[in-house]
Amino acid sequence: MVLANNAIRLGEIQSAITEDNMVLKRHHMSMKQLYRVPFERNSDRLKAQYQYVQHMISSEPPHNFIYMDEAGFNLTRSRRRGRNILGPWATVDVPGQRGGNISMRAAISQHGVISSPSLEALYILIPDDERGQLHDHLPKYVVIWDNVRFHRSNTIRQWFAAHDRMQMEFLPPYSPFLNPIEEFFSAWRWKVYDRHPHTQMTLLAAMDAACDDITADHCRGWIRHSKQIFPRCIAREDIRCDVDENLWPDRLECQDV
């Protein structure tokens, strides 16, 4: 605009900017945060999402799915926003030193949060009268987790081989939107930090207490949310981001699950 008319006035520039903003608003466009997406995230090599979703659909409903992962907690983490009267800052007390991270494993299913997310504890989920039995009408328990090297170790493979009713399924790379436990961790973290833990012992206690605030309905909602992405994976669409507004391109379909 300025290059085309060097004599343009500031008022004319401002009116043009206002008009452009009105056009953008009319088309439901706004300024957004940029999310970094790895180049290989949507390559043909990573279309394993299609095979994963196909396998998941073929396994329902007889099998029981268990989603397992780990999350890190830091003692000094707290909410970034608060409230106070006009003038003074909104402050919160935190330890002077940063402190160390604590990693905690968690597992969820359609029945809620699993209190002891170890493989042996998961095996106990099988009813006593069904353990060791193999019949087509008996459901299997499928542990779904990410594709890290430890999960492919011989120790893990031998354990699953020795427990016939247990299976494991690996998530496709760069596919957090297919893992409902990611939403569990997001909710769990803030429930932990709202209890203001300041030592490692109280942090562990806060982690356990926060699990009690998450119900089976929450877990089922997160699982339903992840399954809403299945049709896009079957269609082999390039899913650019795991943010809700990108998972629902049609604004009319956007709803809280």
Whether the CA torsion 197, 199, 202, 208 is positive or negative: it is positive
pLDDT at res. 200: 58
Given a contact cutoff of 8 angstroms between Cβ atoms, the answer to whether 174 and 41 are in contact is yes
CB–CB of 245/142 below 8 Å? Answer: no
**How far apart are alpha carbons 194 and 79 in whole angstroms?**
8
CA-to-CA distance for 123 and 89, rounded, in angstroms? Answer: 51
Rg, C-alpha atoms of the chain? 24
Pick the more confident residue, 177 or 253: 177
Report the topology of domain 42-84+96-253: Nucleotidyltransferase; domain 5 (3.30.420)
Q: What is the pLDDT of residues 205-217, one digit of tens each?
A: 888 888 889 999 9
Which two tokens mark 118?
A: 């170890």
In angstroms, the CA 54 to CA 118 distance is 27
Q: How far lies 5's CA from each of 17, 18, 19, 113, in Å?
A: 16, 18, 18, 64
- Please give the pLDDT value at position 63: 84
pLDDT digits (tens, 9 = 90+) for 107-151: 999 999 987 777 777 777 777 666 767 676 778 889 999 888 888
Residue 55 confidence (pLDDT): 85
Q: Is the pLDDT of residue 186 over 80?
A: yes
* Farthest CA pair distance, the chain: 88
pLDDT of residue 245: 46
E strand or H helix that includes residue 132: none
Residue 222 banded pLDDT, cuts 50, 70, 90: very high
* pLDDT above 90 for 152: no
Q: How many residues does the chain have?
A: 257
pTM exceeds cut of 0.85: no
Domain ranges (residues) in the chain: 1-31, 42-84+96-253
- Read off the pLDDT of residues 34-43 as tens digits, 9 standing for 90 and up: 767 666 555 6
What is the model's pLDDT at position 164?
A: 80
Tell me the average pLDDT of the chain.
Answer: 77
